[in-house]
Protein backbone atom coordinates (compact mmCIF):
# COMPACT_ATOMS: atom_id res chain seq x y z
CA UNK A 1 0.00 0.00 0.00
CA UNK A 2 2.79 2.38 0.98
CA UNK A 3 5.10 1.29 -1.84
CA UNK A 4 3.12 1.67 -5.05
CA UNK A 5 0.44 3.78 -6.66
CA UNK A 6 -1.25 2.76 -9.88
CA UNK A 7 -1.20 5.39 -12.59
CA UNK A 8 -3.32 4.93 -15.72
CA UNK A 9 -2.09 6.07 -19.09
CA UNK A 10 -5.38 6.13 -20.94
CA UNK A 11 -6.74 9.57 -21.97
CA UNK A 12 -7.85 11.99 -20.85
CA UNK A 13 -5.49 12.95 -18.03
CA UNK A 14 -5.93 15.79 -15.59
CA UNK A 15 -3.77 18.17 -13.67
CA UNK A 16 -4.22 20.12 -10.47
CA UNK A 17 -3.35 23.79 -10.44
CA UNK A 18 -2.53 25.67 -7.29
CA UNK A 19 -3.81 22.98 -4.92
CA UNK A 20 -3.19 23.82 -1.26
CA UNK A 21 -3.71 22.02 1.99
CA UNK A 22 -7.35 21.05 2.56
CA UNK A 23 -8.42 22.53 -0.76
CA UNK A 24 -10.37 20.71 -3.44
CA UNK A 25 -8.23 20.15 -6.54
CA UNK A 26 -9.21 22.11 -9.62
CA UNK A 27 -9.35 19.68 -12.55
CA UNK A 28 -8.50 20.76 -16.08
CA UNK A 29 -7.84 18.72 -19.22
CA UNK A 30 -4.22 18.36 -20.30
CA UNK A 31 -2.16 16.13 -22.56
CA UNK A 32 -3.56 12.60 -23.09
CA UNK A 33 -0.20 10.96 -22.39
CA UNK A 34 2.49 11.33 -19.76
CA UNK A 35 5.80 9.80 -18.74
CA UNK A 36 6.39 7.19 -16.07
CA UNK A 37 6.31 9.27 -12.86
CA UNK A 38 8.74 8.98 -9.99
CA UNK A 39 7.66 10.74 -6.83
CA UNK A 40 9.00 11.27 -3.35
CA UNK A 41 6.94 11.01 -0.19
CA UNK A 42 8.25 12.33 3.09
CA UNK A 43 6.38 10.81 6.02
CA UNK A 44 7.68 11.89 9.47
CA UNK A 45 7.29 8.49 11.13
CA UNK A 46 9.15 6.70 8.33
CA UNK A 47 12.55 7.20 6.72
CA UNK A 48 12.56 10.36 4.60
CA UNK A 49 13.45 10.85 0.95
CA UNK A 50 12.14 7.41 -0.01
CA UNK A 51 11.77 6.99 -3.77
CA UNK A 52 8.57 5.28 -4.83
CA UNK A 53 8.26 4.08 -8.42
CA UNK A 54 4.73 3.98 -9.71
CA UNK A 55 3.36 1.16 -11.84
CA UNK A 56 2.43 1.91 -15.42
CA UNK A 57 -0.91 0.54 -16.58
CA UNK A 58 -0.43 -1.69 -19.60
CA UNK A 59 -3.96 -1.55 -20.95
CA UNK A 60 -6.18 1.35 -21.88
CA UNK A 61 -9.89 1.46 -21.15
CA UNK A 62 -12.30 2.14 -23.97
CA UNK A 63 -15.36 4.31 -23.54
CA UNK A 64 -18.91 3.40 -24.43
CA UNK A 65 -20.66 5.91 -26.64
CA UNK A 66 -24.13 4.40 -26.55
CA UNK A 67 -26.76 6.22 -24.54
CA UNK A 68 -27.19 4.75 -21.08
CA UNK A 69 -30.70 5.29 -19.78
CA UNK A 70 -32.23 3.32 -16.96
CA UNK A 71 -35.91 2.91 -17.79
CA UNK A 72 -36.27 -0.21 -15.67
CA UNK A 73 -38.53 -0.65 -12.70
CA UNK A 74 -35.53 -0.54 -10.37
CA UNK A 75 -35.84 3.22 -10.02
CA UNK A 76 -38.40 3.09 -7.22
CA UNK A 77 -38.45 4.54 -3.74
CA UNK A 78 -38.12 1.07 -2.21
CA UNK A 79 -35.07 0.28 -4.33
CA UNK A 80 -33.45 3.64 -3.58
CA UNK A 81 -34.16 3.31 0.16
CA UNK A 82 -32.58 -0.14 0.15
CA UNK A 83 -29.48 1.26 -1.52
CA UNK A 84 -29.28 4.15 0.96
CA UNK A 85 -29.45 1.71 3.88
CA UNK A 86 -26.66 -0.38 2.39
CA UNK A 87 -24.60 2.76 1.86
CA UNK A 88 -24.83 3.42 5.59
CA UNK A 89 -22.79 0.26 6.10
CA UNK A 90 -20.21 1.39 3.53
CA UNK A 91 -19.82 4.77 5.20
CA UNK A 92 -19.47 3.28 8.68
CA UNK A 93 -16.92 0.67 7.63
CA UNK A 94 -14.93 3.28 5.70
CA UNK A 95 -14.79 5.50 8.77
CA UNK A 96 -13.76 2.52 10.92
CA UNK A 97 -10.91 1.81 8.50
CA UNK A 98 -9.75 5.42 8.63
CA UNK A 99 -9.91 5.55 12.42
CA UNK A 100 -7.16 2.94 12.82
CA UNK A 101 -4.55 5.46 11.64
CA UNK A 102 -3.44 8.75 13.13
CA UNK A 103 -4.36 12.02 11.46
CA UNK A 104 -1.06 11.91 9.54
CA UNK A 105 -1.27 15.53 8.46
CA UNK A 106 1.71 15.06 6.15
CA UNK A 107 -0.71 13.16 3.88
CA UNK A 108 -2.39 16.52 3.23
CA UNK A 109 0.77 18.63 3.06
CA UNK A 110 1.91 19.47 -0.51
CA UNK A 111 5.46 20.01 0.75
CA UNK A 112 5.67 16.39 1.97
CA UNK A 113 4.88 14.90 -1.43
CA UNK A 114 6.43 15.62 -4.79
CA UNK A 115 6.09 14.30 -8.30
CA UNK A 116 7.29 15.83 -11.54
CA UNK A 117 4.60 17.98 -13.13
CA UNK A 118 2.32 17.91 -10.08
CA UNK A 119 2.07 20.15 -7.04
CA UNK A 120 -0.22 19.00 -4.28
CA UNK A 121 -0.61 16.54 -1.45
CA UNK A 122 -0.64 12.75 -1.58
CA UNK A 123 -4.41 12.57 -1.15
CA UNK A 124 -4.91 15.11 -3.93
CA UNK A 125 -2.75 13.10 -6.28
CA UNK A 126 -4.53 9.86 -5.43
CA UNK A 127 -7.97 11.38 -5.93
CA UNK A 128 -6.91 12.97 -9.20
CA UNK A 129 -5.79 9.62 -10.58
CA UNK A 130 -8.91 7.87 -9.27
CA UNK A 131 -11.27 10.45 -10.74
CA UNK A 132 -9.41 10.30 -14.03
CA UNK A 133 -10.19 6.59 -14.23
CA UNK A 134 -13.81 7.02 -13.15
CA UNK A 135 -14.34 9.78 -15.69
CA UNK A 136 -13.96 7.20 -18.46
CA UNK A 137 -17.08 5.29 -17.39
CA UNK A 138 -19.16 8.02 -15.78
CA UNK A 139 -21.98 9.63 -17.75
CA UNK A 140 -21.09 13.24 -18.69
CA UNK A 141 -24.30 14.59 -17.14
CA UNK A 142 -23.02 13.50 -13.72
CA UNK A 143 -20.75 16.54 -13.76
CA UNK A 144 -23.85 18.67 -13.17
CA UNK A 145 -24.33 17.01 -9.77
CA UNK A 146 -21.11 17.93 -8.02
CA UNK A 147 -21.05 18.41 -4.25
CA UNK A 148 -17.42 17.32 -3.95
CA UNK A 149 -15.95 20.67 -2.82
CA UNK A 150 -18.33 20.76 0.15
CA UNK A 151 -17.77 17.08 0.95
CA UNK A 152 -14.01 17.69 0.84
CA UNK A 153 -14.17 20.61 3.25
CA UNK A 154 -16.53 18.88 5.67
CA UNK A 155 -14.51 15.67 5.75
CA UNK A 156 -11.12 17.18 6.44
CA UNK A 157 -12.22 20.03 8.70
CA UNK A 158 -15.01 18.41 10.68
CA UNK A 159 -14.67 14.63 10.49
CA UNK A 160 -10.99 13.67 10.44
CA UNK A 161 -10.07 15.67 13.58
CA UNK A 162 -12.82 13.87 15.53
CA UNK A 163 -12.24 10.49 13.91
CA UNK A 164 -8.47 9.98 14.16
CA UNK A 165 -6.06 10.70 16.97
CA UNK A 166 -3.43 13.35 16.48
CA UNK A 167 0.06 12.50 15.42
CA UNK A 168 1.96 10.64 12.73
CA UNK A 169 2.26 6.86 12.51
CA UNK A 170 3.98 6.62 9.13
CA UNK A 171 1.01 5.14 7.28
CA UNK A 172 0.58 8.02 4.87
CA UNK A 173 -0.30 5.82 1.90
CA UNK A 174 -2.90 3.80 3.80
CA UNK A 175 -4.31 7.02 5.22
CA UNK A 176 -4.77 8.45 1.73
CA UNK A 177 -6.46 5.25 0.53
CA UNK A 178 -8.90 5.30 3.45
CA UNK A 179 -9.59 9.00 2.94
CA UNK A 180 -10.40 8.35 -0.72
CA UNK A 181 -12.80 5.55 0.26
CA UNK A 182 -14.56 7.78 2.79
CA UNK A 183 -14.87 10.69 0.37
CA UNK A 184 -16.30 8.46 -2.37
CA UNK A 185 -18.80 6.82 -0.01
CA UNK A 186 -19.99 10.20 1.31
CA UNK A 187 -20.20 11.73 -2.16
CA UNK A 188 -22.20 8.79 -3.51
CA UNK A 189 -24.65 8.92 -0.59
CA UNK A 190 -25.25 12.64 -1.01
CA UNK A 191 -25.68 12.43 -4.79
CA UNK A 192 -28.37 9.81 -4.34
CA UNK A 193 -30.65 12.68 -3.45
CA UNK A 194 -31.26 13.07 -7.19
CA UNK A 195 -32.63 9.55 -7.42
CA UNK A 196 -34.87 10.18 -4.42
CA UNK A 197 -36.19 13.34 -6.05
CA UNK A 198 -36.82 11.51 -9.33
CA UNK A 199 -38.72 8.69 -7.63
CA UNK A 200 -40.91 11.08 -5.66
CA UNK A 201 -41.58 13.13 -8.77
CA UNK A 202 -42.63 10.01 -10.66
CA UNK A 203 -44.96 8.92 -7.86
CA UNK A 204 -46.86 12.21 -7.80
CA UNK A 205 -45.78 14.55 -10.62
CA UNK A 206 -48.77 16.88 -10.18
CA UNK A 207 -47.66 17.80 -6.66
CA UNK A 208 -44.22 18.87 -7.88
CA UNK A 209 -44.95 20.39 -11.28
CA UNK A 210 -46.50 23.55 -9.89
CA UNK A 211 -43.53 24.23 -7.61
CA UNK A 212 -41.08 23.44 -10.41
CA UNK A 213 -42.75 25.82 -12.87
CA UNK A 214 -42.85 28.58 -10.27
CA UNK A 215 -39.25 27.86 -9.19
CA UNK A 216 -40.54 27.58 -5.62
CA UNK A 217 -37.55 26.06 -3.86
CA UNK A 218 -39.08 26.32 -0.39
CA UNK A 219 -42.24 24.60 -1.59
CA UNK A 220 -40.19 21.80 -3.12
CA UNK A 221 -38.18 21.31 0.05
CA UNK A 222 -41.36 21.09 2.10
CA UNK A 223 -42.56 18.30 -0.17
CA UNK A 224 -39.28 16.45 0.21
CA UNK A 225 -38.80 16.80 3.96
CA UNK A 226 -39.62 13.95 6.33
CA UNK A 227 -38.38 14.79 9.87
CA UNK A 228 -39.47 11.45 11.35
CA UNK A 229 -37.55 9.54 8.71
CA UNK A 230 -34.46 11.63 9.35
CA UNK A 231 -34.58 10.89 13.07
CA UNK A 232 -34.96 7.17 12.41
CA UNK A 233 -31.95 7.27 10.08
CA UNK A 234 -29.81 8.92 12.75
CA UNK A 235 -30.84 6.34 15.34
CA UNK A 236 -30.19 3.48 12.91
CA UNK A 237 -26.67 4.61 11.94
CA UNK A 238 -25.74 5.16 15.59
CA UNK A 239 -26.97 1.65 16.46
CA UNK A 240 -25.06 0.21 13.50
CA UNK A 241 -21.90 2.00 14.59
CA UNK A 242 -22.26 0.58 18.10
CA UNK A 243 -22.61 -2.89 16.61
CA UNK A 244 -19.90 -2.72 13.92
CA UNK A 245 -17.44 -0.61 15.90
CA UNK A 246 -17.53 -2.35 19.28
CA UNK A 247 -14.25 -3.79 20.48
CA UNK A 248 -14.64 -7.53 21.02
CA UNK A 249 -12.75 -8.62 24.18
CA UNK A 250 -10.97 -11.95 24.41
CA UNK A 251 -12.55 -12.66 27.78
CA UNK A 252 -16.24 -12.37 28.52
CA UNK A 253 -17.10 -9.00 30.01
CA UNK A 254 -18.49 -8.84 33.48
CA UNK A 255 -21.94 -7.45 34.06
CA UNK A 256 -21.88 -3.68 34.17
CA UNK A 257 -18.71 -3.31 32.09
CA UNK A 258 -19.06 -0.55 29.54
CA UNK A 259 -18.21 -1.56 25.96
CA UNK A 260 -15.50 0.30 24.10
CA UNK A 261 -15.82 1.46 20.50
CA UNK A 262 -13.34 2.08 17.71
CA UNK A 263 -15.15 5.34 16.93
CA UNK A 264 -17.73 7.35 18.83
CA UNK A 265 -21.18 6.09 17.68
CA UNK A 266 -22.64 9.57 18.01
CA UNK A 267 -20.05 10.84 15.51
CA UNK A 268 -21.78 9.02 12.64
CA UNK A 269 -25.23 10.11 13.81
CA UNK A 270 -24.04 13.73 13.94
CA UNK A 271 -22.42 13.32 10.52
CA UNK A 272 -25.78 12.32 9.06
CA UNK A 273 -27.76 14.96 10.93
CA UNK A 274 -25.43 17.92 10.37
CA UNK A 275 -23.90 17.19 6.98
CA UNK A 276 -25.10 14.23 4.92
CA UNK A 277 -28.85 14.80 5.08
CA UNK A 278 -28.64 18.61 4.69
CA UNK A 279 -26.40 18.22 1.63
CA UNK A 280 -28.74 15.54 0.28
CA UNK A 281 -31.61 18.01 0.60
CA UNK A 282 -29.53 20.54 -1.29
CA UNK A 283 -29.20 18.00 -4.10
CA UNK A 284 -32.91 17.17 -3.84
CA UNK A 285 -33.92 20.78 -4.38
CA UNK A 286 -31.40 21.47 -7.14
CA UNK A 287 -33.41 21.62 -10.38
CA UNK A 288 -35.65 18.55 -10.06
CA UNK A 289 -35.83 16.48 -13.21
CA UNK A 290 -38.25 17.22 -16.01
CA UNK A 291 -38.67 15.76 -19.47
CA UNK A 292 -35.69 17.88 -20.58
CA UNK A 293 -33.38 16.63 -17.83
CA UNK A 294 -34.15 13.07 -16.70
CA UNK A 295 -32.06 12.10 -13.71
CA UNK A 296 -32.34 8.49 -14.78
CA UNK A 297 -29.60 9.25 -17.29
CA UNK A 298 -27.14 9.84 -14.48
CA UNK A 299 -25.96 6.26 -14.13
CA UNK A 300 -22.72 4.36 -13.87
CA UNK A 301 -21.91 1.44 -16.12
The CA distance from 84 to 79, in Å, is 9
The pLDDT assigned to 7 comes to: 38
Q: CATH code at 246? A: 1.10.590.10
Q: Is residue 243 in some structural domain?
A: yes
Residues 6 or more apart from 37 whose CB is under 8 A from it?
7, 54, 115, 116, 117, 118
12 prior amide bond cis, ω within 30: yes
Report, as an integer, the average pLDDT of 265-269: 95
The CA distance from 75 to 286, in Å, is 19
User: What is the end-to-end Cα distance of the chain in Å, rounded?
Assistant: 27
Q: Is residue 1 in some structural domain?
A: no
The pLDDT assigned to 255 comes to: 62
Domain that holds residue 278: 6-58+66-297
Q: Is residue 96 in some structural domain?
A: yes
pTM across the whole model: 0.71
CB 197 within 8 A of CB 284: yes
The pLDDT assigned to 107 comes to: 94
Q: Is residue 274 in some structural domain?
A: yes
Report, as an integer, the average pLDDT of 188-211: 85
Q: In this model, does residue 279 exceed pLDDT 60?
A: yes
The pLDDT assigned to 198 comes to: 85
The pLDDT assigned to 10 comes to: 38
276 prior amide bond cis, ω within 30: no
Identify the weakest region by mean pLDDT among 198-212, 228-242, 280-294.
280-294
The total of structural domains in the chain comes to 1
Q: Is residue 272 in some structural domain?
A: yes
CB 185 within 8 A of CB 87: yes
Q: Is residue 132 in some structural domain?
A: yes
Q: Which of 40-54, 107-121, 135-149 has the highest mean pLDDT?
A: 107-121
The CA distance from 40 to 177, in Å, is 17
Which of the four pLDDT bands, split at 50, 70 and 90, describes residue 40?
A: low
Q: Is residue 143 in some structural domain?
A: yes
Reported as a single tens digit per residue, the pLDDT across 213-252 is 888 888 888 887 888 999 999 999 999 999 999 988 777 6
Which of the four pLDDT bands, split at 50, 70 and 90, describes residue 122?
A: very high
The pLDDT assigned to 1 comes to: 42
Amino acid sequence: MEAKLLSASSPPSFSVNGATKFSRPSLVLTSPTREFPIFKLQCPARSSNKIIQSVHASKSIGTVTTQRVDDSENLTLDAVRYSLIRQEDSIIFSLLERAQYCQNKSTYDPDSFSIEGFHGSLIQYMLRETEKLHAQVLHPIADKINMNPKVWEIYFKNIVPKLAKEGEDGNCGSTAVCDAMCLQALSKRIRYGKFVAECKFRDSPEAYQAAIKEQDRDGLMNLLKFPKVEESVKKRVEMKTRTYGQEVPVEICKDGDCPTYKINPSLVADLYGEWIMPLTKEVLGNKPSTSNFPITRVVRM
